[in-house]
Amino acid sequence: MSLHGEGPKLSHTQVTQMPVCTRLDVDDLTLLATFRIPQICELGTSFNHPEFDMIWEKHIAVNATLSGLALLHVHGWHQQADLIQALRCLPALKSLIVGNGSDLDADFFGEFVPMPPNETAAFVQSHNEGQVSEVLCPMLKSLLIEGCGLTRRLELAPVFRQVVTLRTACGSPLEEFTLFDFELGSKTELVGGHGSFVMEIIVLDGGARPFSLAI
């Protein structure tokens, strides 16, 4: 769904009820805020809005049952802190796809690094609505970053290693951490078969394109 023209005026009383919608791809944050989607499981959206904090807390977190969201595809964001704030509210998220990964820094990826290996309690999370995880996305199985080639961001390799090895030590279900550089036609797998940190660069097919929700 795309927004054409001026964005809608946000109101708690003027929302579109979508009680059976489980998959939605919408390009505007204010448009997303006008939908009541209690069954949403897979969401594609952009967080690119200067008033993200207000819209997320007062509208989206109220109208959407975020505790059940299993897949999120982030097309863009106003600032990195907005993306981190949103992810902290998604305790059941299993798949995360982030576009424009070249703009992400070590602080963002450091949010995925858990407590020391003996402190496994951080991964025992309730899935109550509004639950804020101590560890970012504790149930995450797949983390895909688009537009971020490792050969261009070698300075991030140490924090990538921490994400993989420490989450594995804490019992995290993380199975896939992949960087895609569509411009160079390559992807880099960072998780080995036993949860070890590896850097395996694979050449993409010539027609490879960024991900999208097929709705």
Residue 107: DSSP 8-state: H
CA gap 70, 94 in Å, rounded: 5
Using DSSP's 3-state secondary structure scheme, residue 21 falls into coil
pLDDT bin (cut points 50, 70, 90) of residue 6 is low
CA gap 199, 179 in Å, rounded: 10
> Which helix (H) or strand (E) covers residue 81, if one does?
helix 80-87
- Overall average pLDDT of the 196-208 stretch: 88
Longest dimension (CA), the chain: 53
- Overall average pLDDT of the 2-17 stretch: 72
pLDDT bin (cut points 50, 70, 90) of residue 95 is very high
CA dihedral 93, 95, 85, 114 (to 10 degrees): 80
The backbone torsions φ and ψ at residue 25, rounded to the nearest 5 degrees and listed phi first, read -125, 110
CA gap 192, 127 in Å, rounded: 29
Question: What pLDDT, on the 0 to 100 scale, is given for residue 213?
Answer: 85
- Overall average pLDDT of the 140-144 stretch: 97
Q: What is the pLDDT of residues 68-84, one digit of tens each?
A: 899 999 998 999 999 99
Residue 41 near residue 62 (C-beta atoms within 8 A): no
